[in-house]
Structure 1
């Protein structure tokens, strides 16, 4: 059996176009690029009145295309990504956290990439995935022919970082946002006449607050105008805000590079470019006076910028006032591409999103948009947004059209509205009751179609003296591994069988070289000795503009533990030391499994 390999996503796209009936229609279908920022609030654009920065390239998308004024996402990262990728509420798909497996949406969901790939598009994703690391949750398993970036929720270093390309560990080049944009531009250049769908998931201004020097120099001493909301103004961390503004201007320059590249390649008129963010700002800074920020289900945590540029169909200066959200992008973009998304909905999994393509193209809102309610949930908080109101499940009701800052609770003045929307919230909760699955789930290993499977330290549990490097798990490693009693464990579900090479990514000082380690999975056991020192300082501090909450990383190096035979079933993968001659075994970041393939043609 041959595994899926990804030497040329465009070849696959070309083959699919033949299956779809030839390549003659390719020029009639628009290309699509979706740019998603990370932790950039509604107010982090000069377009929205922020006096602290300038974002002319992103702003130009409103001038040259459409400004979607009432666009809503989720309160945090992974739920928004799940909703954009599927057109469905994350509550229906098992997403309940941002790490430890809770960020994964169910494998049976259909993604926007699959919809476009099946219609003959070449598909690519570059950047922060945050929807699962192992197959069948990996981007290559979810419809993206080419993937370059990182699958965790946050990353510990933005300069020349450790990343992956279609499962294989690689080293990034330069500042990560510049690098990701370069990959998107290269994909555009290689596309030829083949229509493409590119998801450019940038990871800034999410912390750690790292940005190239030229951007930091613009803001290092610059005064920051506070937000009109007194609570935001009082809590503003000025150095953090300066770094965020610098990162946003870097994003803007990269959006400018991308738009210029589309023009240079002659693809600007027939390419839909979408720009939005995944939640409210990651700090109490200027946000147009909106209440709440990242993690909140008030307007400030949920309202996102959304600009859509498509010169062939969207008139310059278009303003969309109807409420809409991340769940609407799949049907909207499919409509622009002429894809019958309604017939492609999987059984029992109807989309929650509505297409706003008609309104973007100059028509009025559809009838369904007039009466719709958009729901949002995070932790135990739920809110519902209609065209006029926002209702919270704590009983608060606000008229957003006249009170965008949610200052005057109208629940007692308008009891009929409060009762109607309160019932709508309860009904919505019942619609996903029992589907959240807020219990630990195993991590897949050995999927038949996957050549590479990562099992990072963030997904492990451990016993004894071992400690995690930071309380935020996504980019952590394990340390204080110093005895034979301690053990590192992964709860895995082996999905296939075969022989695998196993690598350990680690650091170990010269004085501690020599520990013997043992990896076991059921009856299969590997034993090897650490014979090579890997010295590495903590990486990242020298690039941070403000003190970080997340942990630092190191320059990890792999060593081969040997080969192991896998057989299907749910099991516990164990890693421990049997001999420790030095003060520690090693610091451990990642296990990598590579399926060994016998190919008679080779």
Structure 2
């Protein structure tokens, strides 16, 4: 194992820990395999029958372990957007500017290479379907990060799972049916459409994340079912609840869709030459069976960080393989690239070394010592943790022997001071390697990108003054209401990337009795005025499908209104939206602005 100086991180004491394993030329696949990565949202390690959960059945997901490999100790982040960034780049999210789950903090740096960039450059057709949660505007949008086709939503959560408002390559569309079924349909269609190229599909499902909505047949399986509590419950009284029942029902719906996907691969002759990966983005979003692991979503204990990881590739990975070597989301990019014969090391930027290692050798039954002394790190909200082959250290000083105490019940810090000192030194060195740039300074929202026909500026990313209020404390799917005076303003700090002219649409709701308000949109010296001249009657939707009272706000069937056109000039400015006249009791409820880039004016011939 060798490491060149160009790829050495500043923390030289453990440079060997990120050095990757690669196949020799003789071991590379003869043909490029297809790749399908399925990522669940808020599904815990224990939400599979494979892991001993007696409360549900997940035969399709479990079959990936039977017919492929089971990475028994696999780690992600405490919450969703950091995990997605780490999967997409093979690098720790802290190095890339990800510091929250909304309002811009979910974006990783625009100059990072993604796994889709890597596979598309190797000749793959690429697609992402579902929850993106890594930036909404170009160059953070999935179509700007290596994915040819995108259908889903870019926010962190969504407020309605039945016929919801989604987007397709930037353009707002309406989904069809239950969202997980719909997303899987798109993945299946994309696979069917590929005739000339191998395909890379990222199917980022958004359940069992709340709101707790699931089709009736799945709910009926659990509505009255007696549930077995977790073997070492953190809070037994909170486990046998409608929330838990809905989550389990959603997991069984995911399993059926994974089954549909696997059957389609078989029917199209791709079952053996396709790598299928299944994992989740963090621990469970509630108190339920999780194999006795401590913590859940948001925690940096095992229960918050440990994820299922199943990888099937019949042409290369022996059925029933068990991988004892622990892995992480940062390992999937180098692992999949190795399985596809793609030289990811040559493609990596010298100043952005990949933190992950390839698990391809272990998956394919080859011996490797590249992870003998490996240590994995994680951080969320100033809680840091690291684990090696035996121990997990927490920044609060707690030390646990995961081989003997996987449930982290017995703190050994007083008994193992030398282990604490060594691992805390490593943890501090890792933090020092990124903390000076974390979190990043204020980053505006980008508009006017030359490759973007559609650019969305949602209410979740806006700031506002006066009487205006946000519809819910969780910003991702919110809208603004109580817009009742001409002093209130809605603003976005933006950076215009290219000189262009755009049509601006506002997605809104307004009862007939309040029609007639005049509004002004301004950006620097440019402005436009418009009148809300038609009603957009839209009752609240979403809650009628809920199995438990929701924390997220309700949503509406928003309608677009063209406000006119505005010229964008490069530079950082504040985009302002305000009312100039309000004949009724309010202006409107505002969900988002959509900017549609117009063709450049043709050069007029000289007379």
Question: Is there any run of 5+ residues in structure 2 with no aligned partner, and where?
Answer: 1-27
Q: Pick from 15, 19, 44: which aligns with 2:47?
A: 44
Give the distance between the partners of 1:468 and 1:439, measured in 2 at CA: 24
Q: CA deviation at 1:147?
A: 0.4
Report if the CA contact (8 A) 2:122-2:342 is conserved. Answer: yes
| Distance change (3 Å), C-alpha of 1:554 and 1:449 | same
Report if the CA contact (8 A) 2:279-2:310 is conserved. Answer: yes
Q: What does residue 541 of structure 1 align with?
A: 543
Give the distance between the partners of 1:198 and 1:386, measured in 2 at CA: 32
Q: CA deviation at 1:222?
A: 1.1
Within a 5 Å distance, the mapping from 1:440-459 to structure 2 comes to 440-459=442-461
1:285 maps onto 2:301 in alignment: no
Q: Pick from 18, 27, 31: which aligns with 2:34?
A: 31
Give the distance between the partners of 2:193 and 2:168, measured in 1 at CA: 17
Q: CA deviation at 1:237?
A: 5.4
Q: What does residue 95 of structure 1 align with?
A: 98
Give the distance between the partners of 1:217 and 1:117, measured in 2 at CA: 43
Q: Pick from 471, 474, 496: which aligns with 1:472?
A: 474
Q: Deviations over 1:109-159 (max 9, x none)?
A: 000000000000010000000000000100000000100000000000000
Residue 383 of structure 1 aligns to a residue whose secondary structure is strand
Q: What does residue 309 of structure 1 align with?
A: 312
Report if the CA contact (8 A) 2:138-2:455 is conserved. Answer: yes
Report if the CA contact (8 A) 1:178-1:254 is conserved. Answer: yes
Q: What does residue 375 of structure 1 align with?
A: 377
Report if the CA contact (8 A) 1:26-1:195 is conserved. Answer: no
Residue 83 of structure 1 aligns to a residue whose secondary structure is helix
Q: Deviations over 1:372-426 (max 9, x none)?
A: 1010100010100111111101000000011000001111111111111011100
Residue 371 of structure 2 aligns to a residue whose secondary structure is helix
Q: Deviations over 1:82-123 (max 9, x none)?
A: 000000000000000000100000001000000000000010
| Distance change (3 Å), C-alpha of 1:338 and 1:132 | same
Report if the CA contact (8 A) 1:104-1:132 is conserved. Answer: yes
1:520 maps onto 2:522 in alignment: yes
Q: What does residue 215 of structure 1 align with?
A: 218
Give the distance between the partners of 1:357 and 1:375, measured in 2 at CA: 21
Q: CA deviation at 1:167?
A: 0.4
Residue 185 of structure 1 aligns to a residue whose secondary structure is helix
What is the TM-score of this pair, normalised by structure 2? 0.94
1:188 maps onto 2:191 in alignment: yes
Q: Deviations over 1:311-344 (max 9, x none)?
A: 0000110000111000000000000000011111
Report if the CA contact (8 A) 1:64-1:309 is conserved. Answer: yes
Q: CA deviation at 1:600?
A: 7.0
| Distance change (3 Å), C-alpha of 1:337 and 1:169 | same
Q: Deviations over 1:345-369 (max 9, x none)?
A: 01300000000100000112x3221
Give the distance between the partners of 1:140 and 1:312, measured in 2 at CA: 31
Report if the CA contact (8 A) 2:504-2:593 is conserved. Answer: yes
Q: Pick from 477, 492, 495: which aligns with 1:493?
A: 495
Report if the CA contact (8 A) 1:26-1:194 is conserved. Answer: no
Give the distance between the partners of 1:122 and 1:434, measured in 2 at CA: 38
Q: CA deviation at 1:178?
A: 0.3
Report if the CA contact (8 A) 1:31-1:197 is conserved. Answer: yes
Q: What does residue 21 of structure 1 align with?
A: none
Report if the CA contact (8 A) 2:450-2:498 is conserved. Answer: yes
Q: CA deviation at 1:448?
A: 1.3
Within a 5 Å distance, the mapping from 1:137-156 to structure 2 comes to 137-156=140-159
Give the distance between the partners of 2:284 and 2:547, measured in 1 at CA: 17
1:573 maps onto 2:575 in alignment: yes
Q: What does residue 248 of structure 1 align with?
A: 251
Q: What does residue 6 of structure 1 align with?
A: none
Q: CA deviation at 1:464?
A: 0.1
Q: What does residue 110 of structure 1 align with?
A: 113
Give the distance between the partners of 1:119 and 1:88, measured in 2 at CA: 20
Report if the CA contact (8 A) 1:210-1:544 is conserved. Answer: yes
| Distance change (3 Å), C-alpha of 1:234 and 1:342 | same
Q: What does residue 557 of structure 1 align with?
A: 559
Report if the CA contact (8 A) 2:393-2:420 is conserved. Answer: yes
Q: What does residue 509 of structure 2 align with?
A: 507
Aligned pair count reads 576
Q: CA deviation at 1:292?
A: 0.2
Within a 5 Å distance, the mapping from 1:72-471 to structure 2 comes to 72-236=75-239, 238-364=241-367, 366-471=368-473
Residue 368 of structure 1 aligns to a residue whose secondary structure is coil
Give the distance between the partners of 1:389 and 1:479, measured in 2 at CA: 50
Give the distance between the partners of 2:44 and 2:148, measured in 1 at CA: 30
Residue 356 of structure 2 aligns to a residue whose secondary structure is coil
Q: CA deviation at 1:437?
A: 2.6
Q: Deviations over 1:187-215 (max 9, x none)?
A: 10011241010000000000000000110
Give the distance between the partners of 1:27 and 1:530, measured in 2 at CA: 61
Cα RMSD after superposing both structures? 1.3
Residue 231 of structure 1 aligns to a residue whose secondary structure is coil
Report if the CA contact (8 A) 1:102-1:440 is conserved. Answer: no
State which drifts further: 344-353 or 80-89: 344-353
Give the distance between the partners of 2:530 and 2:357, measured in 1 at CA: 56
Give the distance between the partners of 2:233 and 2:221, measured in 1 at CA: 26
Give the distance between the partners of 2:440 and 2:511, measured in 1 at CA: 40
Q: Deviations over 1:55-91 (max 9, x none)?
A: 0000010000000000000000000000000000000
Q: Pick from 43, 56, 59: which aligns with 1:56?
A: 59
Q: Runs of 4 or more off by more than 3 Å in structure 1?
A: 598-601
